[in-house]
Structure 1
Amino acid sequence: MNYVAHIRESDNQIQGVEEHLLGVKDLAESYGEKIGVKHIAGLAGMLHDMGKFTHEFREYILEAVRNPDSPPKRGSVDHSTAGGKLLYQLFHTGNPSRLQWILAEVVGNAILSHHSYLHDFLNKDLESPYLKRVQEKQLNEFDRSVQCFFDHVISEAEFHQYVSKALVELEAYLMKPFAGNDESKLMFLTKFIFSALIDADRTNTRLFEENKTHEPEQNRKELFDGYYEKLMAKIHSYQIQDAAKTQMNILRRKMSEQCDQFAGKPSGIYTLSIPTGGGKTLASLRYALKHASLHGKKHIIYVVPYTTIIEQNAEEIRKILMDGGHILEHHSNVIIEDGNEDDENEDGLINTRQKLKLAKDNWDSPIIFTTMVQFLNVFYAKGSRNIRRLHNLSESVIIFDEVQKVPVSCVSLFNQALNFLKTYGHSSLILCTATQPALDFVEHKLALNADAEMIENLDRVIEAFKRVEIIDKATDETFNNNKLADFIAEKMDEVQSVLVILNTKTVVKRLYRQMAGSHVPIYYLSTSMCAAHRNHILEQVREHLEKHEKVICISTQLIEAGVDVSFDCVIRSLAGLDSIAQAAGRCNRHGEREIQQVYVIDHEEEKLDYLPEIKVGKKLSRRILVDLKHDRNHHGGHVLSAQAMDRYFKEFYTEFRSSLNYFIPKLEKDMTELLASNRTHNSYNQAYTHHKKESLPLFIVNSYRTAAEHFYVIDNHTTSVIVPYDDEGKDMIARLNGNESIEDLSRLLRKAQQYTIHLFHYEWAQLAQNGGLVSLIDGKIFALKESAYNKEFGLDLDNDSPFELGMF
C-alpha cells in the first residue's frame, strides 16, 4: 500500500512516508553533526512521521483532496505520537537505564512536539504531558506503523545499531565540561534536536512542493575569502586618502589590524571595546571574515538591539562586499503563531497556511543581521518558527553589537545561551560595545575567555577618542518641555544642529508638537514608525547635516545605538551611563570639530514607573555625576571612563540581582528553574513526590513549554503588524492577500519586516475595536489600515489619519 506523507498542490503528486522520513533523517543528521549528535538528530528525523503509516491517515489526506470544500477536521488524525511512543516502549520501560531513558525523553519530546512546541515533562498541575502522550494515548494502528517502519525505513537490527551510536553521542555530550548543570545541558540538547527536526521536516517538504530534489551546498570558505579580499581593498583605499593621516584614523587602523590578528585565536567568547566612532562595524567584519575562513564557520551573524541599526549596517556591508543576495536582514516575525496544537497539526496538504510554515526562514544565509529580541526568541520563546533557526547558530561567528542592551531580566538566559554556543556549538561570540556590561559579574556567569579583549591599552584609546565634553545639568536643576524648548532655541543660536534624546515616547511627541512651528527644520523619531519610515526621516536629517544646514531632531533612545549621524550638540535626558555614552556618540562623531558639548538634563515630565531599568540607571548615573562634582578625580576622572562604566554596571546588576533569572510573577518562579533545575531543587518535582508518594519515572522533570509560554523579551508582549507606509508597503499588504508561491512568500515576508511595527495589548485592543486592523492569510498576519498610520508620527491609535480611498 502507498502510504502518503504529503500531496503537492500544483499537480496532486504524492510524497510517500518512507521517502519523507529518509529525506528528513538525512537533513537532520547533517544538522546534528555540527555539535556531534548526528545520530540523535537522525533518530528524530526518521521517526517523526512514523504515525503516517496508517490506513486512517491515508484516508484522511485523500479525503481532504477529494472534498476540498468540506475536508475532514485538521489534525483529527494523530500522526506525531507514534515515533515517541516507540522509543518509550523500546528504551524507557523496566529498570531505569540513564542514557536510554534520557535519549527516549529528548528525542521523543521533539517528535511529539513537531507540530506545536516542546512538551513539559512536568507541569504546574503536577502532570506530565510527555508521559500522557507516550504512555496513555491509544493509537488504533500503532502496531501497523511499527511494522511498516521496520519493513520500509530501517530494519529492526539496523535500528538498534543506530540507537547504540546515538547513545555513544549522548554520553560524550554529557561528559563535556559546561558552565551549567546536566539539566541545562539536556535542555539545550532537546532544543537543538527539536530545531534540527523542525528545519529538516520543513525543508524536505518545501523541496517536494517546489519539485526539487536538493539544494546545492555553497562553499562558505570560498565566499568568505572573496569577501575578505573586497573588504581589504576598501580598507586600503581609505588608507591612501589624505584624511588617513589624522590621529583618529591612524588609531582606527591600528584597532582594525588588532582585530585581524585576533582572528587566528580559537573559537570562544571575546570582547571588542572599540569606542563609538572607532569603526567597529568594519573592524568586527574583518575579524569575522578571517576567523570564519580560518576556522570553518558557516555564518556571520550580527545581533543588534534595535531594528533601526539593521538597515544601515547591512547596507554598509552590502556596498563593501558588492553582494546583496547572501545578506539576510531579519527584523521580526510578522507571522502570528497561535501555538494551538490542533490548529498547527499539519494535515499533509500544502495550502497557503502551510506555505507560511514552509517559507525559508531558517537563518541559513552566510551573513545575517537580526535583533537581540529575535536571538533570545530562538532559544526561549514559544513557536516552532523561532526555534527552527537554533541549529544554524552553531559553527558561526556571532557579533553582539551594543551588547549592553541585553534586557536585565534576560541576562542569565543570554549568558547560558552563549555558553552553550561556545562549548557545544563551536561558535565565536563577540561582545561589541564601547560600554562593556559586567556579564561575568552575575550569578549565571558568562564564560568569557581569558584575555578576552581584542583592543590593547583601552584607557588610552578612550582618551584619544574624546570628542565631546559631558556637561552635567541634571544634578542642579530640572527641565520641563517649555524650559527645554527655550534651551534648544538658545543652543541653535550657537550651533547648526541639535539632537534631543528623551526617555519616553509621550514626552518626545509632545516636545516635537510644541516646537513644530519653528523656522528650523525639525524631525521626530520613535518606534511607532516602521523601519522604512524611520530610514526616510534619517535620510532627510543626514542631508541637512551634510550640507551644514540648521536642523533639530527629537528622538527616543532608538537613535543611540549604531545610527550613523553626527550633530554639533546633543541633549540627553538623564538615564543609564551606557545610554549617555551612546548619546555622546551621536555628537561630533568623526571629530570634525573641536570638543563639542553633550548636555545631560533631568526631565521632570517623564514617567518612568513602567521603565524600571531606565529609572534605576538614572539613579546610579546621578550618583556618579554627584561624586565627580565633589571630586574630579573620582571614577577615573570622567563620567565615561572604563572605571566609571565598570562601577555602574556592577551596581546596576546588583540592584537587579533578583530579576536576572527572568522571574515569572504569575508562577512565582524564575525561568531558569523551569528550564534547568535538578530533581532536588525543582519545586514541581518536590510537590509531585510529596502528593503522589512516588518519584516521577523520568530523568528530565523540567517544564519547557510552560517556560516558553511565559517568555517575552520585553515585559509587555507585543504583536507585529505590517503598516501601509508608502506605495511599497501598500503593495506588499495587497500581495500577501493573494495566492503566492513559497518562494514569493519568503521574499515578501523578508521585505515586510521593514514595514512592521509592534503593538502592545492595549494598542491592539483599541485598533481592533475601532476597525484599524486588517486580517491577512486567515488571521496569520495582520496589517494596519491606512487611516491607522500617520505619515508624520507613525501609529495612529485613533484610526483617523487621512488616507486615500480604495486601498481597503
Structure 2
Amino acid sequence: MESIAHIRESDHKIQSVEQHLLDVKNLAEQYGEKIGIKHIAGLAGLLHDFGKFTLEFKAYIEQAVFHPENPPQKGSVDHSTAGGKFIYDLLHSPSSTPYERILAEVVGNAVISHHSYLRDFIGPSLNSAYLKRVTDSEGKLKEYHFSKECFYRYAMSEGEFAEYVNKALVELKSILNESPKQIFFLSKYIFSALIDADRTNTRQFEENTENVSSSYDRLFEDYYGKLNAHITTLRESDQADHPINVLRTKMSEQCEEYARKPSGIYKLSIPTGGGKTLASLRYGLKHALTHQKQRIIYIVPFTTIIEQNAGEVRRILKDDHNVLEHHSNVIEDINEDILEEQEEAEQNKRNKLKLARDNWDSPIIFTTMVQFLNVFYAKGNRNTKRLHNLSNAVLVFDEVQKVPVHCVSLFNEAVNFLKNDCKSSILLCTATQPSLQYVTRSLDVNAEGEIVQDLDIVEKAFRRVDMIDKTVDGTMDNEDLADWLQYQMDVTPNILVILNTKTVVRRLYEKLKERNVPVFHLSTSMCAAHRREQLEEIKTLLEKEAPFICISTQLIEAGVDVSFQCVVRSLAGLDSLAQAAGRCNRHGKFDKRPVYLIDHAEEKLDRLKEIEVGKRIVSKMLVDLQQKPLSHGGNLLSNQAMEFYFREFYAAFENDVNYYVRGLSQTMVTLLMSKKKNNPYVKEYLSKHQSHLPLMIGASYQTAAENFRVIDDITTAVIVPFEGGKEIIAEFNSGAWEKDTTSLFKRAQQFTINLYQHELKRLSNESGLEVFLDGQVFALREGFYSEEYGLDLEGAGGMGDLFL
C-alpha cells in the first residue's frame, strides 16, 4: 500500500504516513528530551496518525485534493482514534502494571485528542470520553487490524516498538517517582510536544523546508556583550554617582551574582523606578549563558506594557528581529477544533492562517499572564503547543502581584512544575511582592530567594512621595473631585488621577473639559497605538512642566514611564496604590510629592470583587495608621504593610484561590490535580455502577478547559479604524492580507481593543462591525471610534480587556 499522510498543494507530492510518523516522532523526542521524557513524547508522535494507514483515508485525501469540485465531507474519516486504541490494547489489560496503564492513558489521550483537546477520563455525566474512544465498542474502526499490520511493516517492527515502549516506561517511572502528583502537567507537556511536532512537520512538508534546531547560545553571548556595553555607558554618565543610580547599579550587580545560582524561583523586589527591566535582563542573559537555557520569556500582567518593555530590551540589545511580542489574539479560538480536523482538505486561505500562529520558538518573548495561564489550562491547541517551550527557560514575571486571585493555586502549581520538572528558572519581579508562599497550594520559592539585599533600606531610599489620606474628609463624587482638582492646579502644575472604572474616568474627563481645564483621557477603550500617541504628548508636557490633568484607569500604573508632580488615587488594593505612587516624582527630581487617596462615591465595584476587597483592607490599614502611626511599618509603602496586606487579601479569598467553577460546584484544582479517589465524579461513578472506574487517571481535562477563563468576562479582539488600523482593515477588505499573514496580524495587535459580549452585540445591532475570514476577525466601522475616547460606547468598568 502507498500510504498518504499529506499531499503538497504546490506540486502534489505525497508524504507517506510512515515518513510523517517518524518525522513527528523525532521532533517530539527533541521536545520531550528537555525534561527527560524523550520516548514518552516520541511514542505519542509515532502513534498520532496511526489511523491514516487505511484505504478509506487514502481515498478521502485523494478525493479532497484531486477532485475539489466534489469534495468528501470534511473530517468524515476518523484517523486519530486508532493510535490511542492500539496503545490501550497493548498496555491496558488486567495483567498490566500500573505504569503500563498510566502510559497507555497519558499517550493514548494525547493521540486521540490531537485535533481537539485532551478528553475527560471521567466527566460530569459520569462517562469517560477517553474510554469510549479507545475501547471502540461499536467497531467503528473497520480497518484497525490493517492499520496495525501496516504500522509494523512500514513504520516500526513489533520488536523495535516493544523496546521503544520499555524505554518510555523507564522514563515514566522516574518522573512519577520524583513528582507523583504531576500527571496532569506530564499529560499537558506530552500533548504540547505532539501538537507542535505534528504542526511543524506538516508545515515543513507543505513549505518544502528542512527542520532547523533552535539554539540561541551565540545570540545570547552577543546580547550579553551589548548589555555590558550599555551598563558601561550608564556607569560613565554624569548622573552615575547620584545615590539612586548607585543603588540601581548595586541591585543590578546582585542580579548578576544570583544568575550563577542553580535554577529556582527567586524574588526581585526592586522598588518602582529601580531599573527592574535592566536588572532582570541582566539576570536572564547571565543565567541563560551559565546554565544553557533556551530562551527568556517575560510575562507581564497587561497588554499595555508589552510594547514599552520589549522596546527597551530591543534598544539595549540592538535587535528588532528576535524579540517576539505576543499580545491578545487577533484571531480568536473560534472553530479551532473544526479547523484542525479539516487540515487535509483545507483551502489555501485557511492553511495560511494556521501557519501564521506562533509556538513561542524565539530567544526572547514578551507575553501576558493571560496567555501564560492559557497555555496550561485553556482549551485550544494553539495555546497548548507553546507549553514545551517554557521548559529549560528563564521566565521573568513582571508585576507578579497581578495574578488574578482565582488563579493563584493554578499559577503556583504551573510555576512549581516549571521549576521542579522542566529545569526552568523563575524571577518574580515587583515592588509589591505578593505572599504566594502562604496559600494552601504554595509557591516553592527558594530559601534565601530574595535577590535585593537590605530591602527595607532600599525601599526607604526610593521613597519619593507622601501618601496623604483624604478619605478622612469623607467620600467625593465627580463634582467634588473636579472642584478640588481645579483648586489643586493652583498648587501643582500637573496631576494624574487614577480611578477604578472607565465610566467615572470618562465622566470626570467630560466635566473638566466643560470647565476648560486642560485634560487628557486614557482607558482600555483606546487601542495601544492610540494610548501610545496620547502618552507621548503627555510626556512632552511633563518635561515642559505645563499645567494639565490626566484622568486614567489603572492601565497607567504598571510599567508606564511617566512622572507627575501629584497623583490622586481612588482607593483600591495596596499594590495598586503603590504602583500609582510610582507614577509620582518617579525619578526623584523633587522633594517628596503628594499622593492623595480618595474614596470615590460614584464607582460601582460590585463586579470588581478584587478591587472591592482590596479597598476594604486598605481602609482598615488607614484607620490603624491614624490610631497607631507606627503600625504597618509606619507607612503604607513599607514592606511590612505589603506583607500584611497580601496575607489579609488571600485570607479573604481563601475559598476562591483554587478556581471554583460555580456551574459544576467543583474547583479547577480538584478536576485536574486531585488524586483519582478525591475526584467527586469518580466517587459518583462507583456509586452508580457499583464498580470502580477502570482507569488509573480520574481527571476531567476537557471539562476543566471548557470552564477556564483567566478573566471572567469573555472579550473579543476587534481591529479599530485608528491611523494604521484603517490600512489593516482595508487589506482585509481587499484580500491583500494573504500575502504576509504573520506580519499583518502582528501589526494589527497595536490597533485592537477587546470588547465584552454586550458591546459586541450592541455594535452588531447598530451595524458597527465588519467581519472577515468567516467570523475569525472583527473590525470596527468608521464612526464608532473616537479620537478622544476610543470606542464610542460608554464603558461600565472592569479591566478584563487590559489583561489579554
TM-score range, shorter chain: over 0.9
Aligned mates of 1:744, 1:638 — CA distance in 2 = 54
Q: How does 1:49-60 map to 2 (within 5 A)?
A: 49-60=49-60
CA offsets, 1:215-265, max 9 Å, x none? Answer: 3x3442221121111111111111111211111111111111111111100
Once structures 1 and 2 are overlaid, which stretch shifts more, 737-746 or 306-315?
A: 737-746
CA offsets, 1:305-348, max 9 Å, x none? Answer: 11111011111110110001110000112222235745541341
Distance 1:127 1:738, change over 3 A: farther
2:292 is the counterpart of 1:292: no
Once structures 1 and 2 are overlaid, which stretch shifts more, 154-163 or 758-767?
A: 758-767
8 Å CA contact 1:503, 1:556 repeated in 2? yes
Equivalent position to 1:605, from 580, 590, 602 = 602
Distance 1:760 1:544, change over 3 A: same
Aligned mates of 2:260, 2:495 — CA distance in 1 = 43
Query: Residue in 2 aligned with 1:79?
Result: 79
Aligned mates of 1:386, 1:299 — CA distance in 2 = 18
Opposite residue 169 of structure 2, the aligned amino acid is L
Equivalent position to 2:528, from 531, 554, 560 = 531
8 Å CA contact 1:475, 1:626 repeated in 2? no
Aligned mates of 2:741, 2:157 — CA distance in 1 = 40
Opposite residue 657 of structure 1, the aligned amino acid is E
Shift of 1:797: 4.0
Shift of 1:269: 0.5
8 Å CA contact 1:110, 1:197 repeated in 2? yes
Aligned mates of 2:547, 2:10 — CA distance in 1 = 59
Equivalent position to 1:446, from 443, 448, 451 = 443
Query: Residue in 2 aligned with 1:259?
Result: 255
Shift of 1:205: 1.0
8 Å CA contact 2:503, 2:794 repeated in 1? no
Aligned mates of 1:328, 1:696 — CA distance in 2 = 45
| 3-state SS of paired residue (1:699) | coil
Matched residue count: 792
8 Å CA contact 1:724, 1:733 repeated in 2? yes
2:207 is the counterpart of 1:210: yes
Q: How does 1:346-357 map to 2 (within 5 A)?
A: 346-350=342-346, 351-357=348-354
Aligned mates of 2:534, 2:737 — CA distance in 1 = 34
Query: Residue in 1 aligned with 2:272?
Result: 276
8 Å CA contact 1:566, 1:587 repeated in 2? yes
Q: How does 1:95-174 map to 2 (within 5 A)?
A: 95-136=95-136, 138-174=140-176
Aligned mates of 1:636, 1:295 — CA distance in 2 = 39
8 Å CA contact 1:8, 1:349 repeated in 2? no
Shift of 1:735: 3.1
| 3-state SS of paired residue (2:716) | strand
2:420 is the counterpart of 1:418: no
Equivalent position to 1:328, from 305, 324, 329 = 324
8 Å CA contact 2:359, 2:385 repeated in 1? yes
Identity %: 57
Equivalent position to 1:633, from 630, 633, 638 = 630
Opposite residue 15 of structure 2, the aligned amino acid is Q
CA offsets, 1:589-621, max 9 Å, x none? Answer: 000111101000000000000001000000000
Aligned mates of 1:629, 1:746 — CA distance in 2 = 56
Aligned mates of 1:723, 1:121 — CA distance in 2 = 43
8 Å CA contact 1:609, 1:615 repeated in 2? yes
Q: How does 1:583-622 map to 2 (within 5 A)?
A: 583-622=580-619
Aligned mates of 2:498, 2:405 — CA distance in 1 = 22
Aligned mates of 1:690, 1:464 — CA distance in 2 = 64
Shift of 1:67: 3.1
Opposite residue 19 of structure 2, the aligned amino acid is E
Shift of 1:577: 0.7
| 3-state SS of paired residue (2:594) | strand
Aligned mates of 2:617, 2:523 — CA distance in 1 = 25
Opposite residue 378 of structure 2, the aligned amino acid is A
Aligned mates of 1:402, 1:259 — CA distance in 2 = 17
Aligned mates of 1:756, 1:96 — CA distance in 2 = 54
Aligned mates of 2:790, 2:758 — CA distance in 1 = 17
Query: Residue in 2 aligned with 1:804?
Result: none
Equivalent position to 1:768, from 754, 764, 770 = 764
Query: Residue in 2 aligned with 1:653?
Result: 650
8 Å CA contact 1:352, 1:739 repeated in 2? no
Query: Residue in 2 aligned with 1:563?
Result: 560
Query: Residue in 1 aligned with 2:541?
Result: 544
2:512 is the counterpart of 1:515: yes
Aligned mates of 2:356, 2:391 — CA distance in 1 = 21
Gap regions ≥5 residues in structure 1: 800-808
Query: Residue in 2 aligned with 1:14?
Result: 14
Opposite residue 727 of structure 2, the aligned amino acid is D
8 Å CA contact 1:737, 1:777 repeated in 2? no
Once structures 1 and 2 are overlaid, which stretch shifts more, 240-249 or 729-738?
A: 729-738
Aligned mates of 2:794, 2:442 — CA distance in 1 = 46
| 3-state SS of paired residue (2:559) | coil
Aligned mates of 1:162, 1:797 — CA distance in 2 = 60
8 Å CA contact 1:334, 1:781 repeated in 2? yes
Aligned mates of 2:80, 2:770 — CA distance in 1 = 34
Opposite residue 622 of structure 2, the aligned amino acid is L
8 Å CA contact 1:402, 1:432 repeated in 2? yes
Aligned mates of 1:274, 1:340 — CA distance in 2 = 41
Shift of 1:740: 6.9
| 3-state SS of paired residue (1:10) | coil
Aligned mates of 1:40, 1:739 — CA distance in 2 = 43
Aligned mates of 2:794, 2:678 — CA distance in 1 = 50
Opposite residue 110 of structure 2, the aligned amino acid is A
Normalised by the length of structure 1, the TM-score is 0.96
8 Å CA contact 2:379, 2:705 repeated in 1? yes
Shift of 1:773: 2.1
Distance 1:390 1:340, change over 3 A: closer
Aligned mates of 2:731, 2:26 — CA distance in 1 = 35
Once structures 1 and 2 are overlaid, which stretch shifts more, 35-44 or 148-157?
A: 148-157
| 3-state SS of paired residue (1:765) | helix
Distance 1:87 1:269, change over 3 A: same
| 3-state SS of paired residue (1:787) | coil
CA offsets, 1:614-638, max 9 Å, x none? Answer: 0000000011111111121111111
8 Å CA contact 1:724, 1:785 repeated in 2? yes
Distance 1:426 1:740, change over 3 A: farther
Query: Residue in 2 aligned with 1:468?
Result: 465
Aligned mates of 1:737, 1:557 — CA distance in 2 = 35
| 3-state SS of paired residue (1:440) | helix
Aligned mates of 1:738, 1:163 — CA distance in 2 = 52
Aligned mates of 1:795, 1:518 — CA distance in 2 = 24
Aligned mates of 1:521, 1:6 — CA distance in 2 = 63
| 3-state SS of paired residue (1:429) | strand
Query: Residue in 2 aligned with 1:311?
Result: 307
Normalised by the length of structure 2, the TM-score is 0.96
2:758 is the counterpart of 1:784: no
2:238 is the counterpart of 1:242: yes
8 Å CA contact 1:318, 1:327 repeated in 2? yes
Aligned mates of 2:4, 2:733 — CA distance in 1 = 30
Shift of 1:56: 1.0
Once structures 1 and 2 are overlaid, which stretch shifts more, 565-574 or 762-771?
A: 762-771
Query: Residue in 2 aligned with 1:805?
Result: none
Query: Residue in 1 aligned with 2:183?
Result: 186
Opposite residue 101 of structure 2, the aligned amino acid is W
Aligned mates of 2:548, 2:206 — CA distance in 1 = 53
Shift of 1:739: 5.8
| 3-state SS of paired residue (1:119) | coil
Query: Residue in 2 aligned with 1:386?
Result: 383
Opposite residue 54 of structure 1, the aligned amino acid is T
| 3-state SS of paired residue (1:75) | coil
Gap regions ≥5 residues in structure 2: 796-804
8 Å CA contact 1:736, 1:748 repeated in 2? no
Aligned mates of 1:730, 1:61 — CA distance in 2 = 40
8 Å CA contact 1:468, 1:595 repeated in 2? yes
Shift of 1:360: 4.2
